[in-house]
Amino acid sequence: MAEGLYRIEENIGWITFDRPEVGNPIDLAFAARLGDALRAAEEDREVRCVVLRGSGRHFSVGGDVKYFAESLKLQGGARQRFYEDILAQTIPAFRRIATMPKPVIASVQGAVAGAGLSLVGACDLAIAASDAFFTMAFSRIGATPDSGASYVLAQLASPKKAAELIMLGNRFDAAQALSLELVNWVCPPDELEARTRQLAQQLADGPTRAFGRSKALLHAARHNSLDAQLQAEAAAFMAGSIGEEFEEGLRSFLDKRAPDFRSVT
C-alpha cells in the first residue's frame, strides 16, 4: 500500500503527493505508489469520494526531469523502455481517475505542470488556490503531451488554444484555468483546505452509485450518437431504479427530509 500517500477520513480517500521539498514530481516510484493508492480508493467500499492534492507549496511540477536525465545514458530501445515503464504506471492512473465509479476532486496550489495537469484534467471536479499556475511544460524539454494531457485540452479548449498551450508551453494562472474550465472554483490560498473538505464531504454524503453512473454517462457522451446516449441513459436509470439509493431518495422526498444516502450504500 502507498504508505504516507493515502488515508481515509470520514469516507473520503485523501491522496496527498508527498515529495514537497522538490515540488511533488512524478517518477516511476511515485507513479506506482499513486496507482496503488487510486486502486485502494476505488476498491474500498468505505470511500465515497477521493481527493488528490499536493503537500507543500505545489500540487505537482509534473515529470521528474532530474530522474528523466538518467535516460540520457541509454540508447535507442533501452531509453524507450525507460519511459515505457513510467507510462505503464501513469496511463492507468489517469484512466482510473477518469473512470472510477466515485467522484474525484483535484485540490491544487502552486505549480500544476505537465503530467500534474493531466491528473487535474482527469478529475471530475477541481478547486484551485488563486496562487496556482499551470503549464503544459512538455515542449520545454522537446517532448509531446502524455498521460492524457492532449485528451484533456482537446475536450476543454478550441483547437487553436490547445495548440497554443501545448506548443508554447506558456504559464497561465488560476483565473485562466477557470475560464478554460480546467478548474471549477478559485479561492484564496488560506481557504483551499476548508473549501476542499466542504466539497468532498458534500459528495461523500451523496448517492455514490448514482454519481458513478452519471460519470460514466458523461464520458460516453463524448463519442456516442444521440440514440446511443439515450439508450445508455435509460439503462443507467433502470439500473438505479431498483437500488437502495433511489428508494431512499424517493422516501426522503415524500417524508420532506434530507436523504441519508450513507445509510443505504
The confidence score (pLDDT) of residue 264 equals 87
Residue pair 134/178 in contact by the 8 Å Cβ criterion: no
The confidence score (pLDDT) of residue 3 equals 55
Residue 76 located in a structural domain: yes
Provide the grid cell at 37.
493508492
**Sheet with 172-173, edge to edge strand ranges:** 111-113, 133-135, 172-173
Residue 126 located in a structural domain: yes
107 shares its domain with 234: no
Residue 20 located in a structural domain: yes
Q: How far apart are CA 152 and CA 106, in angstroms?
A: 14
Average pLDDT, the chain: 94
Q: Which portions of the chain are predicted below pLDDT 50? A: 1
The confidence score (pLDDT) of residue 76 equals 86
129 shares its domain with 224: no
User: DSSP labels for 153-175?
Assistant: HHHHS-HHHHHHHHHH---EEHH
The confidence score (pLDDT) of residue 147 equals 87
Residue 113 located in a structural domain: yes
102 shares its domain with 181: yes
Give residue-wise pLDDT tens across range 196-215.
999 999 999 999 999 999 99
Neighbours of 265 (CB within 10 A): 15
Residue 1 located in a structural domain: no
Query: Of 204, 228, 246, which marks where a domain is finished?
Result: 204
Residue 85 located in a structural domain: yes
117 shares its domain with 225: no
Task: Indicate the Cα dihedral angle 234, 236, 238, 240, nearest 10°.
Answer: -150
- CATH number for the domain spanning 217: value is 1.10.12.10
254 shares its domain with 176: no
Residue 31 located in a structural domain: yes
200 shares its domain with 212: no
